[in-house]
Amino acid sequence: MNELSDYSHAVAIIKAAVEQSRYRALQAGNAEMLSLYYGIGKYVSENTRNGVWGTDAIKQISMRLQKELPGLRGFSESNIKNMRQFFEEWAPYVNRQPAADDLELDGKFLLAEIRQPSAGELDWKEFLSIGFSHHMEILAKVKDINARIFYIHECATRAWDKYTLRDYIKSGLYQGTASLPNNFDTALADTKFAIKATKAFKENYLLDFINIENLGESDEDIDERVIENQIVNNIKEFILRFGTDFIFIGNQYRIEVAGEEMFIDLLFFNREINSLVAVELKAGKFKATYLGQLNTYLSILDDTVRKPHENPSVGIILCKDMNRSFVDYVIRDYDKPLGVATYKTSKEMPDDLLKALPPVNELKKLLDDTRDDGEQ
């Protein structure tokens, strides 16, 4: 028997799946492609991991597919191995039974519509909306399941291309996304909104564009207004670090109640949570008194500025340092949604991390290529 003919049956099964998938893809788009790759990955995994096929099988199958389906893309030897990895990495989290419209050939379901997995808080629509190359970039470079879910979400909601994704993974973006201490679960009656609000903010922010050394002042002389001015002057970079769903409304935003006027350091609107976000900057360590001031600001915003269709306003203290256990203790008794985060400037960031972060000019280009919602 000719060596190439050894895998004729496998080629016929994959070829039939590809042909039917092309028809179904007109209706299902990217989700159909991922289902096809997942099903093929399963089929290849089952036959290569248990010794049914020889060591050269994937290469031979790829060559035959190219001959029998001229112009077929995405079925190189390396990409078929990627399909196998795609299946093997996600199989532990996917619970499914064959559906009525799955393609069955020789007892194999190749057009398996992969269903909602059990992993964490993965949004299934987001999972199916990003390309296979994005998935493989994440699988190859990110091992923690929660980190994978994070990058899938960011790709889906930020419309990152593969190279932007690669830069953010390299910079360790996920490592700075621990949930900040907050009272969202008690201050917000809507549980889904509370979860969204928690996801919208991080515990630590790397504000690498703030360079205190260039200001000609000692650390003791740096006050909140100095930090605020640098943020306002570099608002695009700040929004990229803070989150691209934020729209900048203004700094020293004036509010008034009962004849008393007050000024919010930075005011944003977040499109994801549909809320005003008041940010108070503190150059030193967190103090309990900061929460009372911000709680008052939120009351005034909700009464005088918030639109009827918007969610309650959210307040964030952005300070230099904090005792998280202390923050958790004092924040629980406030009735407005409050959170506390810390920041680091370029002076304090390790050299290796600074080198890993995209240069400021690349950040500007990235934001210039997106909608200009961040500027007022």
Residue at 290: amino acid letter: Y
CA distances from 221 to 27, 33, 166, 244, 364 (A): 62, 58, 39, 31, 30
Q: Quickly list DSSP for 351-362.
A: HHHHHHSPPHHH
CA 116/CA 127 separation, integer angstroms: 9
Closest by Cα among 58, 313, 322, 286 to 187: 313
E strands, 93-245, are 104-105, 108-109, 204-207
Collapsing DSSP to helix, strand or coil, 197 comes out as: helix
Tokens of 236: 């695009």
What local confidence, expressed as pLDDT, does residue 84 receive? Answer: 95
What local confidence, expressed as pLDDT, does residue 357 receive? Answer: 41
What local confidence, expressed as pLDDT, does residue 171 receive? Answer: 66
Give the number of other Cβ atoms within 10 Å of residue 164's Cβ: 17
What local confidence, expressed as pLDDT, does residue 25 receive? Answer: 54
What are the start-end ranges of the H helices in 234-323? Answer: 235-242, 289-304
| Distance from chain centroid for Cα 59 | 35
Domains of the chain: 3-173 (no CATH), 178-368 (3.40.1350.10)
DSSP conformational letter for 5 = G
Scan for tokens 């809320």, then name that residue: 275
CA 277/CA 303 separation, integer angstroms: 14
Give the number of other Cβ atoms within 10 Å of residue 42's Cβ: 22
Radius of gyration, alpha carbons of the chain:
26
What local confidence, expressed as pLDDT, does residue 291 receive? Answer: 96
What local confidence, expressed as pLDDT, does residue 146 receive? Answer: 81
CA 313/CA 71 separation, integer angstroms: 54
What local confidence, expressed as pLDDT, does residue 5 receive? Answer: 56
CA 284/CA 228 separation, integer angstroms: 14
Structural contact between residues 337 and 183, judged by C-beta atoms closer than 8 angstroms: yes
| Distance from chain centroid for Cα 73 | 29
CA 148/CA 143 separation, integer angstroms: 7
Structural contact between residues 138 and 122, judged by C-beta atoms closer than 8 angstroms: no
CA 231/CA 237 separation, integer angstroms: 8
Dihedral (Cα; 103, 108, 114, 116), 10-degree rounding: 120
What local confidence, expressed as pLDDT, does residue 8 receive? Answer: 83
What local confidence, expressed as pLDDT, does residue 95 receive? Answer: 54
Tokens of 242: 């803070």
DSSP conformational letter for 94 = B
Q: What is the pLDDT along the chain (376 residues), one digit of tens a residue?
A: 455 556 888 888 888 777 766 655 544 567 778 888 988 999 999 999 888 888 889 999 999 998 888 888 889 999 999 999 999 998 887 655 444 444 444 444 444 444 444 445 577 788 888 889 999 999 999 998 888 988 898 888 777 888 888 877 876 767 655 678 999 888 988 877 887 888 888 888 877 777 655 444 444 445 677 778 888 888 777 877 777 689 999 999 999 999 999 999 999 999 989 999 999 999 889 999 999 999 999 999 999 999 999 999 999 999 989 999 999 999 999 999 999 999 887 665 444 444 444 444 444 444 444 444 444 3
